[in-house]
Amino acid sequence: MACRIVVLLSGRGSNLDAILQQVHQPTDVPARVVGVISNRPAAAGLERAAAAGVPAECVDHRAHPDRPTFERQLAATIDRLQPDLLVLAGFMRILTPTFVTRYSPALLNIHPSLLPDFRGLDTHARALAAGHAVHGTSVHVVVPELDAGPVIAQAQVPVLEEDDPERLAARVQRAEHLLYPQVLRWYAAGRLQLRPDSVRLDGALLPPRGHRFRLSATETGLED
Ligand code: GRF
């Protein structure tokens, strides 16, 4: 049976697009995106989902009086879709420990830095300010502590002399659009064992920063 994936997002949805093209649509990948949920009604990702024929709905956080009420509605919407895996792709609400522990460790996020470097926001500006020569993105298991769960895989990108945060962000996103689908294909193939404190790939414990890739020079693929 195909792995049932539900994607949560808040905005553009370029990672959703990559997942739809590289995981959902190929018939040889045993996974399907069975629903996309946004907390913002105007999220472009909702249209991307609908265009691909995937059920898309909004649970607007502003329509709920507090975070627990919002999360109860969100969880009810998710559970109707009966996911095997919940995927955060640019979901910009902090989730409470109650919500996280309900789904973790089958709850993944993509974060635009080489964790544990630069948890939180403004990662590209912070990588530039720190003078890092290498930056990148991480896919990790979500745990109650923000951006602190075990890392499954990272993709490194070079930081170039002429970079500003926007240029660097665009290069990191090109890596994200390859990395997230790769991790989801591993999961769908039964190759990942997720736990709140560790991850195994093909039975072998992954190191703290996960499996390491780098973006190829042509930026069209990942290399070990
Ligand atoms: C990505 O850069 C991801 O790392 C971060 O949010 C961004 C979402 O972009 N968590 P998009 O909506 O998928 O284009």
At residue 50, does pLDDT exceed 90?
A: yes
Q: State the Cα angle at 171 between 169 and 168, rounded to 5°.
A: 40
Q: How confident is the model at residue 29 (pLDDT cuts 50, 70, 90)?
A: very high
Ligand 1 binding pocket (C-beta < 6 A) is: 9, 11-15, 89-90, 110-112, 137, 173, 176
The average pLDDT across 15-41 equals 98
The average pLDDT across 189-208 equals 97
Integer Cα distance of 165 and 222 in angstroms: 22
> In angstroms, what is the span from residue 12 Cα to ligand 1's centroid?
8
Classify the C-alpha dihedral 142-147-152-158 as positive or negative.
positive
> In angstroms, what is the span from residue 145 Cα to ligand 1's centroid?
19
pLDDT digits over 80-100, tens only?
A: 999 999 999 999 999 999 999
* DSSP output for 139-185: EEE--SSTT-SPEEEEEEEEPPTT--HHHHHHHHHHHHHHHHHHHHH
For the CA of 12, the closest atom of ligand 1 is 12
The average pLDDT across 20-37 equals 98
Query: To test ligand 1's pocket by mutation, which of 9, 12, 15, 135 has the most ligand atoms within 8 angstroms of CB?
Result: 15
Task: For ligand 1, atom 10, name the residue with the nearest CA.
Answer: 90
pLDDT digits over 54-83, tens only?
A: 999 999 999 999 999 999 999 999 999 999
pLDDT the model gives residue 1: 83
At residue 145, does pLDDT exceed 90?
A: yes
The average pLDDT across 23-38 equals 98
pLDDT digits over 89-132, tens only?
A: 999 999 999 999 999 999 999 999 999 999 999 999 999 999 99
The answer to whether the predicted template modeling score (pTM) of the entire model surpasses 0.95 is yes
